[in-house]
Chain A
């Protein structure tokens, strides 16, 4: 997806249009204060803050953060495209990451992924990125090692971490997402 670099808010869809509250601004300032030597160090924290507040990082986020830290927009955008955690499109309200690295794969991560995909009724999108359900409730993607190899396979649902997720546990997890 190509992003217009100098896009204004009119290009944004969904929740990125939300209001930037004084509380949000204050939080950003607090994060910046942790890096007294270089404001630029605060890019990752601000990107996290933006994504957690608005769901994804669109052109408006890139522009706002760049202005806040006196950076060029490309210096922010290049991080959004480099770090896999950041996304430029909204995901589902419940975003699932299934670890696919060797120990989890040996523990059956592929089956877990297939079970989740079926339960969420998701279709392959052909480009390997996260699959998002039509109603915006679920999204699903593979992730690299989540560092809990002893309890494979593991799944991250939003911020909640789940261990030894087999078919049955996958069904329970999905049912709990309301």
Chain B
């Protein structure tokens, strides 16, 4: 069957009898790849990662090999740091949680390999504090790894030293932004830094070169070293290599987490065949394909997409929403993004005004407050949307919303401004009628139960 998962990272997750302790991990071949990597040497590992064309799984999809190549361990005189970004908090995403809770050693092995490859001696694992149990699991796993000689001084007699510490966040979404995360790790408010000059590869943690990678990305490094960069690059599609963890939530029969080769299936196949279709026999209305910051896709839409054909020539194709491949490039061409892999599905009974009001409430709560357009603007988005949802909308509110959103994106230090504006811009562009309708029947709308979506 075409919809069979290919599990690399989730191979042992939920497997019967698999436990998260080091003994079980080693029984399943754990830390063998570390030995292989230590024998290969750092430059060889970096080369394999580059060949694999791995793209970061945190949201931006930046090539990991390129990110690493900004730092040359042989030339840098300052210490180099690596931080694992385990601040998973993009609404709709819950993949890293599975790795941390069910297979923490896989992450640690990938992290040690990545640290070794980049000459890192001290690394931090930044985990969101709501994963309280996950934090304890990681502390235990790190102690186990150290006890077995995979961490600490002279790892497996290679002469290489590495310490990894867990650092807990404190409930702020902005800490997922890499420079905000660095500020937070330095013991400050998580105000993102402006780039340039504060590229983490140059002026990162303690103003030293720093690599920040997502949990899933670091796990992929282990599999790349296991199978070789070229073999890994054959999984998935060109420029969209490897497997991808996909999290599905919202109105589907079987929400959950799945792993497929990147671009192996379409949005329609994912929803209909993998997740069992829309629940309660309802119809599809809208999909947010890459975490709540991604632009919404509307059922029935047709996208014009340029794609390389078999002969390598670019051809323009018309694709329906259901036929969009779930990879970085296709979703970007459709005007949205693959982001963090969180697919949120909404059925035809859902009120788009309420859904957007909910999303904007999230961003209003999470804006760090550093840049004025975002701090003030996102709050206004929330206020205006709440008043429409509560039945006090004004005729010019949809226009006003668009105007406010347009003035946030591109005027902030970090990408949060875009993340907060994109949902508003896309919902308004695609569901304008619903906003107007809601405002026309103001009085009736007020009677609806709104608690679930806008509180």
Contacts and interface: CB of A to CB of B under 8 A. Distances in A.
Most A CB within 10 A of own CB, among B89, B249, B255: B249
A103 B91 contact: yes
Given A110-B455, A152-B249, A161-B133, 10 more contacts: A36-B122, A37-B122, A38-B186, A84-B171, A85-B171, A100-B358, A102-B92, A144-B366, A149-B91, A149-B92
A44 B451 contact: no
A79 interface: yes
**4 nearest A-B pairs in the assembled complex, by CB-CB distance:** A110-B452, A83-B170, A149-B249, A85-B171
A152 to B, nearest CB: 6
B10 interface: no
A15 interface: no
Interface residues of B, number: 60
Contact of B130 (A82, A108, A146): A146
B452 A150 contact: no
B189 interface: yes
A8 B433 CA distance: 59
A17 interface: no
Contacts of A111: 451-452
A86 to B, nearest CB: 6
B187 interface: yes
Interface of A: 34-38, 40-45, 47-48, 69, 75, 78-79, 82-86, 97, 100-103, 105-111, 113-114, 142-152, 156, 159, 161
A110 B129 contact: no
Interface in B167-199: 167-173, 184-190
Contact of B455 (A113, A151, A156): A113
Given A106-B250, A159-B132, A145 B171 contact: no
A150 B247 contact: yes
Contacts of A42: 187
B11 interface: no
7 contacts: A38-B206, A41-B187, A45-B168, A83-B170, A144-B362, A147-B96, A149-B342
B423 to A, nearest CB: 10
